[in-house]
Structure 1
Amino acid sequence: MRPYRSVLYIPAARERALEKARELPADAIIFDLEDAVAADEKDNARALLAGVLATADYGTRAKIVRINGLDTPWGREDAAAFRGAKVDAILIPKVGSPADVDAVAALIPDVPLWAMMETPAGILNAAAIAAHPRLAGMVMGTNDLAKELGTRFRPDREPMVASLGLCLLAARAFGRIAIDGVYNAFKDDDGLRAECRQGRDMGFDGKTVIHPAQIPVANEEFAPSEAEIELARRQIEAFDAAQRAGQGVAVVDGKIVENLHAVTARQILSRASAIAERAI
């Protein structure tokens, strides 16, 4: 079980940022060739990133490249540059339907694909997109989605909850990784923490972040707490003891523990173990 608590966007045109990312405690890095790179820097950024990823060691961090859309002048060259590259995924921007995944899959047959979910069409087609056999993950593009929907920012993200929920349901139905969108106020730790908790409680695997300062908060909030780990251990012990006694349920802290609770508890411990073993 690979952790994706914090997924950091890095502009592919910034050589110093690419170097610094090798030392940051993010679980994954999105090397961005799309929004974070100006049009006149696209070609240089592509060449720089291809060279860096061919030689640099990013340790256990997942390496994800966000290419430009195939409807742009740069998308096909991006796809050609990273076909067969030593990366963990190619992130496709503005996926609106399975056909968008098909188009990239035909150009990049040998690297897992992720989808940016950031358009109304993409949200409405989330289940069909998640079902694509080449898809491995989904990332919420909440800034673009808010623009398309015409929503206003609210700390509770009420205007965004339906879209978040639809994509999360789709991801879980087909066993895909699901990453929450960014929090723009990178100096507001309290706001970030609240949004991380909301995404975590909904069921997202982690959060995309736009600044290194946001990584510790995301890592903390998307990791099981010590209390959760301790409770999971007690639930497993109690359930296993009940099973040995020929009983189908146990009781821990006055609450019923059935098989489904034991499965969830084992998942919590597995996640905690994966995080603990991740060396940076």
Structure 2
Amino acid sequence: MARLLRSLLFVPGNNTRFLEKAKSLNSDIICFDLEDSVPLEEKKSARNLIKNALKHRSEYNSEIYVRTNSPISGMISDDLLEVIQKGVDGIVIPKVNTINEIKKIEKMMTGLEKKRKLKPIEVMASIESAEGVVNAYSIASCSKRISALIFGVFDLLNDLGVEYTKKPEGALYSRAKIPIDARAAGKYAIDAIWQDIDDVAGLEQDSVVAKNLGYVGKSIIHPQQVDVVHKVFYPTLTEIEWAKKVMSTYDLARKSKKGATTVDGKMIDEVHYKRAVALLNSIK
């Protein structure tokens, strides 16, 4: 599919200045965070700030996702109650271990979407434990909502009792397995963050490794990392041709006053068109 997922930038949901600055950033996905970057006592405030930011969705250039708290936190229902609304393009669920966790979350989301008259919202599942790695394929394939798996290296290493290094041997198998499982399920895979913001060369090298493993992009934690990962995860010829086909086909459909059409047997609509435009604009 014609889609750019080169960069997924986490933005702390409790920081008004960062939420505002995100409007000017060119990351493919801006992910407002309710989890690790937000202290427990500020979760409620962060939900309100994100809810307000979503009301100004048109001011952001990127796709907008929200990372909730983990399934075992007991806070997901409160998170979803505030962020499942018009303006959110997707939800990132951290520390997913089993398909049952996804099914419970999907049920909550469906209820809110029906009540608020919203289309089904995408989900990306973050794999951050030994159990999650073992179940990665079943998680990726358990729901049509799942668009991608995200690799979370730090919690995985903690689960394994291994110290983090810039080339953690304890994560090699897991890092290689996740894009294979995602691809087998017909989904994307996004690599883990590079923690050292000042090590630009290290980020670029790590991104090349990720691309060669089958990842389509990388999670990032600072705006200055965007251009580096975009340089590495440049659209492929197949993606470019698909985007051109989506644009031309959808333009014809709109002239016929159709809201959706098909390309190579797959349904496309306004969302796919916008992603195709973004992809083609990125190579100019």
Q: Aligned to 1:116, what secondary structure does the other structure show? A: strand
2:99 maps to 98
Q: Which structure's CA Rg is the greater one?
A: 1
Counterpart Cα distance in 2 of 1:125 and 1:146: 17
Select the residue among 128, 137, 141 that pairs with 1:127. 137
2:47 maps to 46
TM-score normalised by structure 1 residue count: 0.80
Asked if 1:275 corresponds to 2:276, the answer is no
Summarize the alignment of residues 56-205 of structure 1 with structure 2, pairs less than 5 Å apart: 56-109=57-110, 110-133=120-143, 134-205=145-216
Unaligned runs of 5+ in 2: 111-119, 245-275
Give 1:143 deviation, angstroms: 1.1
1:232 maps to none
The one-letter amino acid of 2:81's match is A
Query: Is 268-277 or 74-83 further displaced after alignment?
Result: 268-277
1:266 maps to 238
Give 1:276 deviation, angstroms: 3.4
Counterpart Cα distance in 2 of 1:112 and 1:73: 21
Counterpart Cα distance in 2 of 1:35 and 1:267: 33
The one-letter amino acid of 1:61's match is S
Q: Aligned to 1:10, what secondary structure does the other structure show? A: strand
The one-letter amino acid of 1:78's match is D
Q: Aligned to 1:4, what secondary structure does the other structure show? A: coil
Give 1:175 deviation, angstroms: 1.4
* Residues 115 and 137, structure 1, Cα contact 8 Å, conserved in 2: yes
* Residues 83 and 107, structure 1, Cα contact 8 Å, conserved in 2: no
Q: Aligned to 2:189, what secondary structure does the other structure show? A: strand
Q: Aligned to 1:99, what secondary structure does the other structure show? A: helix
The one-letter amino acid of 1:176's match is K
Give 1:157 deviation, angstroms: 3.9
Q: Aligned to 2:58, what secondary structure does the other structure show? A: coil
Summarize the alignment of residues 229-244 of structure 1 with structure 2, pairs less than 5 Å apart: none
Counterpart Cα distance in 2 of 1:72 and 1:222: 33
Q: Aligned to 1:108, what secondary structure does the other structure show? A: helix
Structure 1 58/149 Cα, relative in aligned 2: closer, same or farther at 3 Å? farther
Say what the alpha-carbon RMSD is for the aligned residues: 2.1
Report percent identity of matched pairs: 30
Counterpart Cα distance in 2 of 1:157 and 1:199: 13
- How many residues were matched structurally? 240
Unaligned runs of 5+ in 1: 230-264
Counterpart Cα distance in 1 of 2:85 and 2:13: 18
1:5 maps to 6
> Could you give the per-residue CA deviations for residues 148-179 of structure 1, whole angstroms, max 9, x where no partner exists?
11233444443212101221111101111210
2:17 maps to 16
* Residues 84 and 108, structure 1, Cα contact 8 Å, conserved in 2: no
The one-letter amino acid of 1:115's match is A
Q: Aligned to 1:160, what secondary structure does the other structure show? A: helix
TM-score normalised by structure 2 residue count: 0.79
